[in-house]
Amino acid sequence: MNNKFNHVILVAALLGGALLNCTAALAQNSADLSPTAKDPARWYTEDTTAKARSQTAQTEANAAYQQALADCRKMRGAEAKACTKEARDNYRHDMAEAKKMLTQTQ
């Protein structure tokens, strides 16, 4: 019976330690999301208008398209051509969605 009790205490201690580690990791991650002096202020301003949200979506679409093209350039032949076509299709879709934001009401 004493061994069972020791086992329960050991398991509880291990779980408690794991919980503390998870809590510390979450605290570190939330600290990483806080503004720093190096970050541009615009990263922390909310897009409150449809025009601002649309412009942000267009900026993100452009960045995603450039990244996709860079990834496609690492490929060769038909694979690269298909990748470029998919990137272009995704870009057109994303831009259409961004422009739709201008006409939508909140």
3-class DSSP assignment, residue 17:
helix
Rounded CA gap, 19 and 100, in Å? Answer: 45
Do 43 and 28 share a structural domain? no
For the ranges 23-37, 42-56, 90-104, which has the lowest average pLDDT? 23-37
5 and 24 housed in the same domain: yes
30 shares a domain with 45? no
Percent over 70 (pLDDT), the chain: 62
- Residue whose structure tokens are 């201008």: 102
Residue 54 burial (C-beta neighbours within 10 Å; 0-12, 13-18, 19+): buried
| Residue-number span of the structural domain to which 90 is assigned | 37-106
83 and 69 part of one domain: yes
Q: Give the pLDDT score at 29.
A: 55
- Does residue 63 share a domain with residue 20? no
pLDDT digits (tens, 9 = 90+) for 44-56: 778 788 888 899 9
Average the pLDDT over 34-42 and give the result.
Answer: 71
Model confidence at 13: pLDDT above 70: no
Total domains in the fold of the chain: 2
Answer whether 96's CB lies under 8 Å from 49's CB: no
pLDDT confidence bin for 99, thresholds 50/70/90: very high
- Considering the domain architecture, whether residues 61 and 97 belong to the same structural domain is answered as yes
CA distance 60 to 28: 27
The per-residue pLDDT for 48 is 82
Does residue 58 share a domain with residue 29? no
